[in-house]
Amino acid sequence: MTKLLITYFGAFEGVEKNPTREIAENVGGALAHTHPDVDVTLHELPVSFVGSSSELTRVLAETSADAVLSLGVAVGREKASIERVAINLDDARIADNDGDKAQDRPIRPDAPAAYFTRLPYRHLVTEMTAQNLPVEISDTAGTFVCNHVFYELMHALASTEIPGGFVHIPATRPDTETASHAANMTAHPETGGIEGREVPTLPVNTVSNIVQRIAEAMV
C-alpha cells in the first residue's frame, strides 16, 4: 500500500483559521474512495521555524511515507500555486507562533541554496489550466514557515527518490457563498501573499479538486 503524507498548518498572524486543514481533510476523504490502496496520513505542522523542522522530521520517520505533499496558504493570491523552488532562507517581518522573528537566516548553513520540487508541475498546470481550473506555477514560496517546511522537506528527501512538494492555496470560501473577497485575513509577502488589495477567495470545492489531482499524480 502506498503511503501519502499531507501536511498543513494552523492559525498564525493574519490568518485566524487556516484553510489548509479543511482542504487536506477533503482530499484525504476523497482519496479514501478513489484510491483505497493509498494510506493517507494528515498532519498539522506548527507555524514555527524550529518547531516545524522537528515535527516534520518526526512525522516523516513515523509514517515512512512514499510521497509527501505540504500545503500552506498564501493570502492574496488568486490561484492555487505549485511551488517550484524552496530557498535556504528564513526572513520575515512577522514573528512565527513562537515569537521567532527570523532575519537573513539560512535554514541549513551547510546545505544547498535551493531545492526544486519533485511534483510534475508543468504537466499538472497545463492539464488543469486547459480545464479552466485556477492553478499556476510559482517561483516564490516566500521566506516564512511555508518556505522553511518546503526546504526542510526537500532536504530530507534529497537522498531518496520519494516525490514531494509544496502547494500554496489562496483564501477559500464555502461553495454556497458568492462573495469573492475575505475580510478577516491579512496578506504578508514573506508568507507568499500579495499585499495592497482586497483578499480574493476561491470555493473550497475548487481548491480541494486541484489539490486532489496533485496528490493523485504523486501516487
110-122: pLDDT as tens digits: 999 999 999 999 9
Rounded to whole angstroms, what are the CA distances from 48 to 55, 144, 170?
A: 10, 9, 20
Is 146 considered catalytic here? yes
Is 33 considered catalytic here? no
Q: Pick the catalytic residue: 43, 168, 188, 190? A: 168
The DSSP symbol for 189 reads G
Q: Pick the catalytic residue: 43, 146, 148, 152? A: 146
**Single pTM value for the model:** 0.94
Return the H-helix or E-strand segment holding 165.
strand 164-169
Q: Pick the catalytic residue: 83, 148, 152, 188? A: 83
The structural domains of the chain, ordered by start, are: 2-218 (3.40.630.20)
Task: Give the cell for residue 82.
Answer: 505549485
The per-residue pLDDT for range 159-172, each reduced to its tens digit, is: 999 999 999 999 99
